[in-house]
Amino acid sequence: MVIHSKPIITVWMNSISNIKGEVMAGSGYIEAIRQQIRVRHYSYQTEKSYLYWNRYFIRYFKFTAAKYILPKHIEQFLCFLANERRVSSSTQQQALCALVFAFKHVLAINTDNLQFPYAKAPTRIPQVLNDAEAKQVIDHLQGKYQLIGSLLYGAGLRLSEALGLRISILKIAHFLYLEVKVKKIGFVFYLK
């Protein structure tokens, strides 16, 4: 009994693209974007975000094949987000980056000449804790949460970086020697 007349990889490649730029605007298109993101080792959060915006884009225009997608559609979609959905400028920028990535790396379409109104970025002063306030917050934490909070504040790590640390700790007199590896980069901190 023959299950597949063609090798599976051939069937998959044909479902993604017949010729460059003719990618199905459905699951094949989304899988092609996912593949390009993973080849470039983007973070999982970036992958989720880019796939979300590309799915939203496809649903908004009801595309059935990527050969119908043009750069002018990006402009229309971003105008829709800014004017009707009233998204923030950072959300609009995230959608733009996701769509430009797909156009550039999957569809091989140039998007250099896009023209659309940017959502207005609010002018606000960021709230930053002073040293005493930061110490007060960190003192209320206990155990590993206190260590993570100290690293976030003292070493300037992002939360995802702090949670992904491999740590070896050695106490020497009044100092806490902390050796941290983030991916392949090593950091050493001496804390009192």
Instruction: Please give the domain boundaries of the chain with CATH numbers for all domains.
Output: 8-107 (1.10.150.130), 131-191 (no CATH)
Bridge partners, 17 (sequence order): 23
CB 122 within 8 A of CB 92: no
Residue 21 has pLDDT above 50, yes or no: no
Strands of the sheet with 185-191, listed across from one edge: 166-172, 175-182, 185-191
Stretch 128-154: mean pLDDT: 85
| Mean pLDDT of the chain, nearest integer | 75
CA distance 77 to 7: 38
Question: Does the reported pTM lie above 0.75?
Answer: no
CB 138 within 8 A of CB 149: yes
Output Rg (C-alpha) for the chain, integer angstroms.
23
At 175, is the secondary structure helix, strand, or coil?
Answer: strand
